[in-house]
């Protein structure tokens, strides 16, 4: 049986925000182990300026990042067990949040490919 896409029914803004938090969790500039095993504390959140900003090793468009400053989005992500909110300063991504397939990484995270 194929796993259902977006089993928690997140909306587009929630999915984009989780995707950005997942990418930040991979960056030593933004992530450190959290107290709970398997969780990652993401802090030092980037502040979009202009039309794009850096998210770890990728670039994202500012229009895709409005959820990083939207407390309502964080409330939903926390209620669904994906993060523990420390809004607006940081988020702890739970193992579920780290592993959740948003399906958006390739669409909103732009990476430079070197040959």
Instruction: Give residues with Cβ within 8 angstroms of 39, minimum separation 6.
Output: 33, 84, 92, 93, 94, 95, 98
Q: In this structure, what token pair is assigned to residue 75?
A: 């409330």
Distance from C-alpha of 97 to C-alpha of 15, rounded to nearest angstrom:
11
Written as tens digits, the pLDDT of the chain (115 aa) is 556 789 999 999 999 999 999 999 999 999 999 999 999 999 999 887 789 988 878 999 999 999 999 999 999 999 999 999 999 999 999 999 999 999 999 999 999 765 4
List of domains in the chain: 12-108 (1.10.10)
Instruction: Tell me the pLDDT tens digit for each residue of 104-114.
Output: 999 999 997 65
Q: Encode the chain in three state secondary structure.
A: CCCCCCCCCCCHHHHHHHHHHHHHCCCCCCEEECCCCCCEEECCCCCCECCEEEECCEEEEHHHCHHHHCHHHHHHHHHCCCEEEECCCEEEECHHHHHCCCCCHHHHCECCCCC
């Amino acid at each position: 049986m194929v796993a259902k896409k977006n089993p928690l029914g997140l909306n587009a803004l929630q999915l984009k925000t989780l995707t950005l938090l997942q990418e930040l969790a991979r960056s030593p500039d933004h992530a450190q182990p959290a107290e709970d095993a398997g969780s990652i504390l993401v802090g030092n959140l980037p502040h979009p300026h202009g039309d794009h900003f850096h998210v770890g090793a990728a670039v994202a468009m500012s229009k895709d990042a409005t959820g990083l400053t939207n407390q309502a989005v964080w409330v939903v992500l926390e209620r669904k067990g994906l993060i523990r909110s420390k809004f607006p300063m940081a988020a702890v991504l739970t193992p579920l949040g780290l592993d959740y397939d948003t399906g958006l990484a390739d669409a909103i995270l732009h990476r430079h490919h070197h040959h």
